[in-house]
Structure 1
Amino acid sequence: MSWEDIFKLFTATIVSVGSGGVIVFALSSWLGKIWASRILANETHQLAAQLEATKRDLDVIKENTLRFQNDKIIAYREVIEIVARLLAKLDSKESGRLTEEDAEAYFDEFNEQRIRLYGYLAILAPQTVMDAQDSLIDHLLKIAGDHVEYEWTEIRNKSLTLLNAVREDIGIGKGSVAYNGEL
């Protein structure tokens, strides 16, 4: 075999391998793109499903949080209404417009309501609200039992302490409510 034959054989081998290599490269590139697009579509589908599941979970959390906040507001509103009714009755008693018998009957009703509301608050309210509510109710009970004198300014201050604790708990404003009147 001559150098010329060897060179022709070598060139033919490289050309044939090179042509086949180009064909194999082209086919593998095409197949790689198909696989990549399928994998991307599958990953995109899985990610979309995960995002949808997360959105549903967040919606459930949001709904539960709103329901819990609404329950708090209802309980706090009930406390305020019960205390307001008792304060009106105490004012009536202090001014002589309410008989002792009527005041005692109303106090019995108030006592039942405050015990029930205490249970509601114990489930929903933080300790700061419970402490402020305890301070106000204890003071009102002492007034009703004639253990302390009825002083409107003391009741107002304890009421504002409770209202500010409630406001802080439900996220209304950053500042406290204060009485700026003259009485």
Structure 2
Amino acid sequence: MSTEAFEIAQAILLSLGGGGVIIFALSSFLGKMWAQRILQCEKSEHDKELSEFKSQLDTLVQKRSLNYQHKIELYKVTTAPLVEFTSLITTSGLTKDHLIEFDRQRLHIVAQLSLFAPQNVFDAFNDTVDYLYDALEQDNYSFSEFRIKVLKFFLK
């Protein structure tokens, strides 16, 4: 009987062992497939989010670039009358017509700066113009002082 019991036990272990190996192999395969599918879903989700972030970043970069270009154009427009006016002060002198034209241009510049420029730029421009008018009224124009004020305006 002991050999018979041993053979039965051996048969049971072999059948369960073979089935166990098959079940282990199948569960390992299914687990691997399931993990790949989960990873693919996660990757797909992350790729979608990444493309949305890239799109938002591109939009932001374009807006900032356009804003920067507008600022450069605005500063070009606003500095031209200052350059011309300063040139007249230092070279040939100013006439009443020059002052009237500069005042007209100044009003246009103030309107543009008040709409589009930050407050510190607007204040620096006004400080520069105030200096010019005060210097002309008091006849004490100093290029070095004017340069400091203009640089503050340009570098804001």
Would you say same fold, with TM above 0.5?
Answer: yes
Alpha-carbon deviation of 1:90?
3.8
Residue 98 of structure 2 corresponds to residue 103 of structure 1: yes
Mark the CA change 1:36 to 1:85 in structure 2 (over 3 Å): closer, same or farther: same
Distance 1:3 1:87, change over 3 A: same
Paired residue total? 156
- Structure with more contact order per residue of length (Cα contacts < 8 Å, sep ≥ 6): 1
Q: Counterpart in 2 of 1:36?
A: 35
Match of 2:117 in 1: 124
2:81 corresponds in structure 1 to: 82
The whole-number CA distance in structure 1 between the counterparts of 2:90 and 2:101 is: 13
Structure 2: segments with no counterpart, 5+ residues: none
- The structure where helix makes up a greater share of residues is 2
Counterpart of 1:27 in structure 2 is 26
The runs of at least 4 consecutive aligned structure 1 residues that moved more than 6 Å come to none
Alignment of 1:111-150 (within 5 A): 111-120=106-115, 123-125=116-118, 127=120, 129-144=121-136, 146-147=137-138, 149-150=140-141
- Name the SS for the 1:149 alignment partner: coil
Q: What SS class does the counterpart of residue 85 from structure 2 fall into? A: helix
Q: CA separation in 2, counterparts of 1:75 and 1:17?
A: 85
Give yes or no for the alignment of 1:153 onto 2:144.
yes
Structure 1, unpaired ranges of 5+: 167-183
Alpha-carbon separation, structure 2, partners of 1:126 and 1:18: 82
Q: Matched residues in 1 for 2:139 and 2:152: separation?
A: 19
Give the aligned residue type for 2:41. N
C-alpha distance in 1, partners of 2:150/2:138? 19
1:118 is displaced (CA, Å) by 3.0
Return the alpha-carbon distance in structure 2 between the equivalents of residues 65 and 132 of structure 1.
Answer: 23
Measure the CA separation in 2 of the matches of 1:49 and 1:71. 33
Contact 1:82 1:113 in 2 (8 A): no
- The structural deviation recorded for 1:105 is 2.6
Q: Determine the C-alpha separation between the residues in 1 that align with 2:129 and 2:99.
A: 16
With structure 2 as the length reference, what TM-score do the two structures score? Answer: 0.81
The superposition leaves residues 108-139 of structure 1 with CA deviations (integer Å, 9 ceiling, x where unpaired) of 3133223213314xx43362x34432321111
Q: C-alpha distance in 1, partners of 2:103/2:128?
A: 17
| CA drift at 1:24 | 0.9
Alignment-mate amino acid for residue 15 of structure 2: S
Write the letter of the residue equivalent to 1:115: V
